[in-house]
Structure 1
Amino acid sequence: MPTGYYTHPEFQRHEMGHFHPECPERLQAIEDHLISHGLDGLLERREAPPATREQLERVHRPDYVDSLERASPASGYHAIDPDTSMNSHTLAAATLAAGAAVAATDAVIAGEFENAFCCVRPPGHHAEPDRAMGFCFYNNVAIAARHALRAHGLERVAIIDFDVHHGNGTEAAFRGDEQVMMCSIFQHPFYPYSGTEHLAPNMVNIPLPAYTNGMAVREVVETIWLPRLNEFRPQMLFISAGFDAHREDDLGQMGLVEQDYAWITGQLVDVARAHAQGRIVSCLEGGYNLSALGRSVLAHLKVLLER
């Protein structure tokens, strides 16, 4: 069964100014690695559709959705915070990124794919129900997970986040929700300086110090994540696939390499096969060293394709 691959040309048109690390070249670096290693033809490509207002509002407040629509500039930039800005294409790209995750969820649940990867930007896991931040506008993974629960009637889903930054927006959306388990690793103390206090029982957050290497992360996965996931028995897995914990990425100070991402992905595939009919939807989050990002996504996709 092929792996679905969701993307859209509009993602390249969203940009937040020269030299911003969350840049259109990120997706081109991924495409270049897929082509040069022969994976491009093994993926079933689909163009992302826009998320509907109903789908967005399963996670985000209606007044917040309205505020983004009002803030969208006809030209130039509208700054949300010092790191996060909108241009005239941002709102469309963000709506398509969320739509990609929803469409991938529909296709995987329908049995068209065992798993799917959403090669999207802007990323989503910092977007809270009523706040854009950290390069994020709509929380793509959270919207997809809520769609699986509400539209498809799943009872238990897991979200796994291995970005170098804590997924504060995803935690805000699902804190205390017994239908959702969130497992995450993140550098701490580090932006957004959250994820360590007043944890709900469904939040399996593992803060790690700077310079933590791949072997230490693998131990966390084996001893903490996997027992909790197998106990929870998720019916579908969603991955916030951030690759900025790579040792070559200057936006973090972690020590992972692409082989670590492949190993983690393999463990998650095994959990999905055991409890969720193999169902996984993975969405791109961070990763800002272009070479490391391309190599890491390639390693991630090889496992999704081959396992």
Structure 2
Amino acid sequence: MIASDFLRRPVPVGKMLRTYLRFFKRRFFRSIGYKGRTAWISSPHCRVAFTTVPHPEQPERIAAIEQLLHQSHLWARLQKIDAPEVSDVQLARVHSLRYLADLENRVPQQGGTVKIDEDTYLGRDTLAAARHAAGAVVHAVDMVMRKHAKNAFCAVRPPGHHAAADHASGFCFINNTAVGVMHAIAEYRLQRIAVIDFDVHHGDGTENIFANDPRVMLISSFESPLYPFTGTDYRGSNPNVFNFPLKAGDGSAVFRHLVRAQWLPKLASFRPQIIFLSAGFDAHSEDDIGHLCLNDADFGWLTRKIVLIADRHAQGRIVSVLEGGYNPEALSRAAKAHIGALIRAGGWF
């Protein structure tokens, strides 16, 4: 077919009308102040540098994501929410009182940092940020359960999935996702909650907290062997914990087959009432902290697959929580693909 023949081909009227309708619908909603149904929840406390030593977990991580969203049409379609501080009651559903008191007592008052382990440092502002990070997830749960948003992305730090019930580890102090899960159980009486962790590192803290709680399905992929060198020795009583270790060099084909063959059938069988994503983007091929080879498109593809499950079983309710991702450029692109899929699933109020 020559070019002139192609140009003479008629455009289907229905398709053209749908395109124009979407365009004018967006313009109309913006003009009258309507917001998108995806919430961006963050806090100025999460933009502070926590340590006085060089560290990959820096505030530029969130800034890079936000800057790229600003450069696209996506930022205008987000509800921007300032994260509240988590309450002591909400924290105590996940972490021991002794551990929480110890964290408070170890916060340096005159600057500097306190070394918790080989790569985890507590600064003067760390705990305030961690409390707002957990508060963001609690608020996200409230928003999706009360239909103030269909889904939410919590742009928070420090991350949380290595924090166990009684100790900090791997840059993490409060398990943000676990606090949100327990809030959903306590306040909304949900009985089937799925947590999907696609960080390059195993979410050992989340597994520790829910190892004996069959109300929570935990699906996790991660590079193995790699810090924290867990995920292949699960001994809990919860039958809904599924770990899928990947080896260095695994990329799109292996990951997508895993999702299709294992994750989606298990999620469909479980019929979750809400889905939490421990959204780590350090499995990206350009992130030097790991050796997996996912690309930007993989994170968007995964999100779209999870959206289908959420729409079918959970009224679309998804709460995504930032975990890892330490190359700001790769992180921002992967997160954009992820957030873009959430926005397209959410639509407009």
* TM-score interval for Structure 1 and Structure 2 normalised by the shorter chain: over 0.9
Of stretches 74-83 and 278-287 in structure 1, the one that deviates more from structure 2 is: 74-83
Whether 1:180 aligns to 2:220 is no
The match for 1:222 is: 260
Whether 1:60 aligns to 2:98 is no
| C-alpha distance in 2 between matches for 1:149 and 1:271 | 20
Can you list the C-alpha shifts for 1:221-245, whole angstroms capped at 9, x where unaligned?
A: 0001111110000000000000000
The amino acid that maps onto 2:248 is: A
| C-alpha distance in 1 between matches for 2:53 and 2:108 | 17
Within-5 A mapping of 1:123-202: 123-200=159-236, 201-202=239-240
The match for 2:127 is: 91
Q: 1:103 aligns with which of 139, 151, 167?
A: 139
- Paired residue secondary structure (1:281): strand
- Paired residue secondary structure (1:185): strand
Can you list the C-alpha shifts for 1:158-180, whole angstroms capped at 9, x where unaligned?
A: 00000000000000000131100
TM-score by length of 2: 0.87
The match for 2:14 is: none
- Paired residue secondary structure (2:115): strand
- Paired residue secondary structure (2:227): coil
Of stretches 70-79 and 233-242 in structure 1, the one that deviates more from structure 2 is: 70-79
The amino acid that maps onto 1:151 is: E
The match for 2:247 is: 209
The runs of 5 or more residues in structure 1 that have no matched partner are: none
Can you list the C-alpha shifts for 1:77-100, whole angstroms capped at 9, x where unaligned?
A: 111112011111101000000000
Q: 2:51 aligns with which of 8, 16, 19?
A: 16
| C-alpha distance in 2 between matches for 1:29 and 1:285 | 15
| C-alpha distance in 1 between matches for 2:140 and 2:86 | 12
The amino acid that maps onto 1:135 is: F
Aligned residues of 1:176 and 1:202 also touching (Cα < 8 A)? no
Highest CA radius of gyration, 1 or 2?
2
| C-alpha distance in 2 between matches for 1:142 and 1:170 | 6
The match for 2:71 is: 36
* Shift of residue 188, structure 1, vs aligned partner: 0.2
* Shift of residue 18, structure 1, vs aligned partner: 4.2
Percent identity at matched positions?
Answer: 47
The match for 2:32 is: none
| C-alpha distance in 1 between matches for 2:257 and 2:69 | 30
The amino acid that maps onto 2:212 is: G
Instruction: Report the aligned-residue RMSD.
Output: 0.9
| C-alpha distance in 1 between matches for 2:234 and 2:87 | 33
| C-alpha distance in 2 between matches for 1:285 and 1:199 | 24
The match for 1:301 is: 339
| C-alpha distance in 2 between matches for 1:274 and 1:120 | 28
* Distance 1:215-1:199 versus aligned 2 partners, 3 A rule: farther
| C-alpha distance in 1 between matches for 2:53 and 2:342 | 34
Whether 1:278 aligns to 2:313 is no
| C-alpha distance in 1 between matches for 2:140 and 2:165 | 22
Equivalent pairs, count: 307
| C-alpha distance in 2 between matches for 1:195 and 1:82 | 20
- Paired residue secondary structure (1:21): coil
* Shift of residue 198, structure 1, vs aligned partner: 3.2
| C-alpha distance in 2 between matches for 1:39 and 1:255 | 26
* Shift of residue 16, structure 1, vs aligned partner: 2.4
Can you list the C-alpha shifts for 1:141-170, whole angstroms capped at 9, x where unaligned?
A: 011011101111111100000000000000
Whether 1:69 aligns to 2:104 is yes
- Paired residue secondary structure (2:70): helix
| C-alpha distance in 1 between matches for 2:230 and 2:92 | 24
The amino acid that maps onto 2:130 is: A
The amino acid that maps onto 1:224 is: Q
TM-score by length of 1: 0.98
The match for 1:48 is: 83
Aligned residues of 2:50 and 2:124 also touching (Cα < 8 A)? no
The match for 1:291 is: 329
* Shift of residue 2, structure 1, vs aligned partner: 1.5
The amino acid that maps onto 1:306 is: R
- Paired residue secondary structure (1:151): helix
